[in-house]
Each structure stands twice: as structure tokens, then as C-alpha cells.
A and B are shown apart, each in its own frame.
Chain A
Amino acid sequence: MNVETAARATDFRPFGRPERLGKSLAWLDGVQEAAMERFHEHGFPSPKIESWKFTNLSRLARTTFHDAGVIKGPELTRAALEPYRLTPDCHLMVFVNGQFRPDLSVLDHVPDGTRVVDFAAANEEDLRALTAPPVVAVDPQARSLFDLNTACMSGGAVVHLGRGAILDPVQLLFVARPDTEPTAFHLRNLIRAEAGSSATVLESYIGLGEGIYWTNAVTQIAVAPNAVLRHYKLQAEGSSAFHVAATSVRLDHQAAYRMFAASLGSGLCRNEIDVDLSATDAVARLAGTTLARGVQHLDTTIRIEHSKPRGTSSQEFKAVVDGRAHAVFQGRIRVAPDAQKTDARQVSRSLLLSSTAGVDTKPELEILADDVKCSHGATIGDLDEEALFYLRARGVGEAEARKMLVDAFIGELIEHITVDTARAYFRRAFDRWLAYGAQP
């Protein structure tokens, strides 16, 4: 660790202590103190660590951030949030600058057997999830921001599904209204789906206005036997924002996890998704897209751990990169010696729209079982010039033709989203991005 990050690290105070959460739990104090110690020891992940070699956080490490608590809650109305909502009537938890806003949330018809509450209203059993380490073990320095989150967490959502419960889409909407001073939001979400339950959870990270802020989000998910979780995430932070997120998912026997992640906001983003198929016959299907332009640097890092036999996993990720932007895709599949009959595949495709755009893609397969099906493929290409000419030769303008081809590239991914309203939600987000891109 270099001196600079060590010095900076000491500036972080654990302001999200249990008192803040309205709790006084000795064990939680211990967990948070230990996490802060680990963060102090390791500092920010450096590019010298293998898993961080494509994404340099030195700019983030050099920035002095203030507590989220310093900012007065900006005046926001429900109407102002309308464009960012999944549907006008879905269950909704709104957080503005890291703080839960019950006045903007809609939680009055959450069905029996489920709980959707703010972190402060979590019970001790919910919070026990905080003692669980990340589901996939990596170098502790690579994890230091997860630790920082544990030490500083100021709030987030707790979604609990009782046995056999069914929850219609719930949207967790994290809105940032940046202040003149850089601000950090350490958000922690806990999602627990008991046996046989089924739910759809959408996380939306939206930046309103310009200004520097940092979202450091951790979402811990446990899916019990025969439960199904559809998990969607839209990262549309402000253009000067840092977005660092770790999603950590543990799947039990015959649990099914479907994830779609779209990353199109922020100046610098690291979106990590770790899934442990910790019991037999679990299924994890991950897909997503990165849309980057300007000087954005957007990183998606996936680690899939097949710990037990007969698991199925798939990763299908696409990136469209324009301007001087940079996209990173790292996808790891690890198959434990015991995880026979694993079926794991990974595909990443990138489309470069300018000569100054860049992509780094790194597949990693570590297969320790002998009776498995594993595959990976990666492509990086430009827009098809022949197709572009064909469209233009019929009268379609160049910008419109490019838009059609980019849309075609990402469009099919949307079919991975099985919930109609969510598919439409991402469609709208993509259309906004494409419309912006079509302008001169």
C-alpha cells in the first residue's frame, strides 16, 4: 500500500455505527471495528493487485469525502422521481443521498410474509448477514472497500421473503443530489429469500445534478432452497460520480438467481458480482450491458463459484464504448473439485464506436472437477461498415443508422429480463442513452 492511500484511509470515520442505526449490538460493534481495522491496514485496492489492474482508483483515493450526514436532505417530490420509477405503483424504497426517505417511498401494500424495510428497522436476524464474509474469497486488499462499507454503512434496504412468499417487483431507488463538497454514501442492502419464495428486486442508482460523490454499495443476497430471485440493477449515476458496488450472492439447493445489470452512468464504476452456487442444482444466469462514452471508465467484474455438483451458470455481457471511454469485463468461473456436472458458460462482446475507445476483457476459468461443461468466448469489434452503408444507401441518415446498429447489438440482451415492466424500464434507459448518442 502506498503512503498516500494510507494517509487518506484514516480520514474515514465509521459514522454508520449501530447507534446511527438505532441499535446497540455488541457483536455488530465488533464486526464494524474489525472491518475498519482491515481497511486501515490495506487502504484502497491498488492496480498492482491482479483483479484491479484495469481499474485505477487513485483519483477516488485522493478525493476527500464528507459524511453523507452533513448534507441536508434536498427537497425532492414524488413527481420529480417519476421518470426513474419502474412503474407508478410498484413497491418503492427511496434513498436520497444515502438516507431513507419514507415520505417518497411506497411500501403500503407489501404482502404478508415479506418485509421491505429500511436498515434502521432491521431486526437482529437480518443484521446477522453482516457477519458473513463475501461469498467468494479474494485477496483482502481487493476487498477493502467492502470492509469500508461494513465500517461506515449508513443505511440501505432490507428485503426479507418468508417461506413461499411472492413479492411483486420492489424498486430500491438510490438518488444522489450532489453537494458542492464531495460526499460519500456507503449503502448496504440485505436480501434474504427463504425457501420456495420468489421476488423481483430492482436497484436503481440515479444521479441528479452535477458534482462529485461516491456511492459505495454492498448488496448481500441469500437465496434459500427452491427460491427464485430476479435481480436487476441500473447504474445511472451522475457523470462526475464514483460508483463502486459489490453484490454477493449465496445460492442454496435448487435456488435460482437471475441478474441483469446495466452500467451507463458515473465517471468511474466498478461493479462486482460474486455468486456462490453453494449447494447442488443451483442456477445463476447473469447478463448485462455497459454503455460508455466521453471519458467514462466502467468495469464489470464477475466471479462465479461452483462449489457443489450440478450447478448451472451463464454470463452474457456486452459493452458499447464510444469517445475516449473505457470498459472492462472480467469474468471468473471457478469449479470446485466436488462440483461435478457443472455447466458454466461465459460470453462477452464489445463494440467500439471510436478509435479512442478501449476495452479490456479477461475471462478466467479455474476448473478443478473433471466432469463439467465450461465455455467462454470474447469478441471485440467495430460497427459493421457494410451494414452501415446498406442502411445509408437506402436513405437512413448516418447517425440514425449507427443508432440502429448499436440498438441491434444490445437489444437482444434485453430478452434476458423476464419481467415485462423491468424490460421496458431498461429499454427506456437504453433509448435515452441512444438518443443522446445520436445528437451531433
Chain B
Amino acid sequence: MLKIEDLHVEVDHKEILHGLDLEVPEGEVHAIMGPNGSGKSTLAYALAGREGYAVTRGRILYRGRDLTAMAPEERAREGVFLAFQYPVEIPGVVNANFLKSAVNAVRRHRGETELDAMEFLKLARQKLKLLNMDEALLSRPINVGFSGGEKKRNEIFQMWMLDPRLAVLDETDSGLDIDALKIVAEGVNALRGPSRAILLITHYQRLLDYVVPDRVHVLAGGRIIKSGGKELALELEAKGYADVVKAAAA
């Protein structure tokens, strides 16, 4: 599904990722863990195509196609979804209008018929109910006045609506209390399936108690320095990043 080869990414002329390799096969959930400043968010933005995150070497293959040449909206329409670490507040743009445009842009791209207002509302209500979220969210401006937990749940809601094939969740667990964390985790687990891949980017092992990954990778200094099974997350939690980074360097 996702194959990253020798990825170098510069931000403001400073290289942050120095040759990152990663492969996430269809049907699997992988976690990327790493200390602050290791390049986790840079990886997330590079995958989503944010301006200013320049790929200077290497490539990102998504279902056999190079993502780096695609605009952010093309990636989204191809099925790549990034849940933001800090979802953006956009005053004046109503959630429902925005999301209907997004959903229909994706559907058009897939050759599906667009949803009319009633069909969209029906689908949105159904997903909101499953996420135990208030329908009023639809008529509010995007993320404006939302609590941290609401913003993260709104990301999960949008993810459900857009039905991606590759979901990248950037620290979606940060700043959540345990109840919100469980809701988010259930939201992610519900998306697990044979035709999808999920990449969880996180600093803490906590989320991985609820969303058990198939593989765990340690990102440090702009590279993947170690990969392993789900037990690697527990090892990191017990020993801390410093030991693992030191051992890998040795």
C-alpha cells in the first residue's frame, strides 16, 4: 500500500528526514514512535503534500504510484487521509458544506455519483451516531470553539466520511482524556480492514493499548532506526527513547 524509499525532506532549507525507509502493506496497522523533533510530523505532512515540505530525494509510492508529484487534494481523492495533530479552526466555513464538498470531490474522482444534500446528511448522521457525536457539529464552523477532544473526534468523523485507503494519524491521541481516547481508538479500529492501511504516529504507547499495531517503527534523527512487533512499543515505554536510540546507533 505504502512504500517509502530513501526519503529526504527539507523544511526551510533544513533537512529533517535523512533517508527514511518504510513499508506498510495492505491490511496492516503500523505505529511510528519517536522522541520530539525526530521528524514525525514532517513525515505526516510530506505524505499529505503540505507546501514547504520539499522532497529532495527518494520517493513515496502509494499503491504503486509516486505521491510526491500529486497536489494535496489529489492525494486525498486517491484515498490518503491525514488526521492533523492540530486540526485547524476555520471561522466562517460550515462543517457540513466543507465536508460535503470534500466527500463529493472524492466520489467524483472514484467515478461514484455525488451525494445530494439529503443523502449527505443521512450518511453524516449515521456516522456521527456511531461516534457518539452531536449532530449540531455539522452546522458549526470547522473546529471553531471545539475542545481538544472534539477536534480529534471531528478528524475521525471526517476520516469515516471520506473512507480512505491509507489513514495517517498524527498524534491523534495527544491531549485526550481516557474516554476520548477510547472513542478515537474505536473509531480507528472500526476502519481496520484487509483493503486499508493505517499509520499511527505517536509519542506515547498509550494509544497502542487500544489500537494494537502489527508493526512498530522507531523514528529518530530523521530515519527509522528500529522496527519490531507490538512489544517494541512496550520496550520503548519501559526504557525510554534514549536507550533505544543509543542501542541502535551502537
Which residues of A pack against B, CB within 8 Å?
384-387, 389-398, 400-401, 404-405, 407-409, 411-412
Contacts and interface: CB of A to CB of B under 8 A. Distances in A.
B101 A400 contact: yes
5 contacts: A389-B88, A394-B158, A396-B98, A405-B90, A405-B92
Interface of B: 48-51, 71-73, 75-77, 81-82, 84, 87-88, 90-93, 97-99, 101-103, 105-106, 109, 141-142, 158, 162
Contacts of B101: 396, 400, 404
Contacts of A397: 73, 105
A384 B106 CA distance: 23
Contact of B162 (A394, A400, A404): A394
A395 B77 contact: yes
Contacts of B82: 393
A387 B51 CA distance: 12
B90 A390 contact: yes
Contacts of A390: 84, 87-88, 90, 142
B88 A387 contact: yes
A404 B49 contact: no
Contacts of A412: 91-92
From A384, A393, A404, A407, name the one whose CB has the most chain B CB atoms within 10 angstroms: A393
Contacts of B99: 394
A404 B97 CA distance: 9
Contacts of A394: 76, 81, 98-99, 102, 158, 162
A401 B102 CA distance: 10
B151 to A, nearest CB: 11
Nearest to B79: A395
A408 B93 contact: yes
B90 A395 contact: no
Contact of A391 (B48, B71, B90, B109): B90
B71 A408 contact: no
Contacts of B102: 391, 394-396
B43 to A, nearest CB: 15
Contacts of B49: 393
Contacts of A401: 73
Given A394-B98, A396-B101, A409 B92 contact: yes
Given A393-B82, A404-B98, 20 more contacts: A384-B90, A387-B90, A389-B48, A389-B88, A390-B90, A390-B142, A392-B76, A393-B49, A393-B75, A393-B76, A393-B84, A394-B98, A394-B99, A395-B102, A395-B105, A396-B98, A405-B92, A407-B92, A408-B90, A409-B92
A414 to B, nearest CB: 11
A396 B105 contact: yes
